[in-house]
Amino acid sequence: MSDKSTLTLFAHYNQLMNAKVYAAAKSLGTPIVTNDYNAFFRSILGTLNHILVADIIWLTRFANHPAQFRALNIIVNFPKPTSLDQIIYDDLEKLEESRASLDAAIIEFIHELKSEHLTSNLTYHNTKGASFTKSFLHLLHHFFNHQTHHRGQVTTLLSQHNTDIGSTDLLQLLPNV
């Protein structure tokens, strides 16, 4: 598999898992989704907001890549997070709508990538203003890994309410060869 095909796989996996997580969360109802379970981002809703917040922050940084990816123009339509634990949407329906829109843009963004982009570096500033220059490919891997990490936290909270989203294995999307 090439780097681009791996990233394409990750983007589709991200979209599929987000759809499954949101469907499961909606089945629980607002009190359970918003309850503070002393999780790192407090609640299911808080954790889902964190994933969206981090994605917005990273996609904004990626939009500043010299290649100027068209698919990332959508990022201007999203709220600008001020903290990693910010609740951008306290309504699960609106959060899900934004998540779906962003997931579609992520797939389009990955589609736009060319091999020269994947061998480039990206300079960005973190939320505290420190400047970094890192491999763009490695940052993309981090971007997808971060989503997977926090979705794992959400699936734990869901399972504590007897809500199973089914298989979360990437293996289900790997093609037979």
What pLDDT digit, counting tens, does each position of 135-175 carry? 999 999 999 999 999 999 999 999 999 999 999 999 999 98
Residue 1 has pLDDT above 90, yes or no: no
Structure tokens that stand for 159 in this block: 């399972």
What pTM was estimated for this model as a whole?
0.96
Give yes or no for a contact between 59 and 51, defined as CB atoms under 8 angstroms apart.
no
- In tens, the pLDDT along 96-141 reads 999 999 999 999 999 999 999 999 999 999 999 999 999 999 999 9
What residues have CB less than 8 Å from 27, skipping those under 6 apart? 163
CB atoms inside a 10 Å sphere around CB 45: 22
Q: Is 144 exposed, middle or buried (0-12, 13-18, 19+ CB in 10 A)?
A: buried
Report the alpha-carbon angle 67-73-78, nearest 5: 135
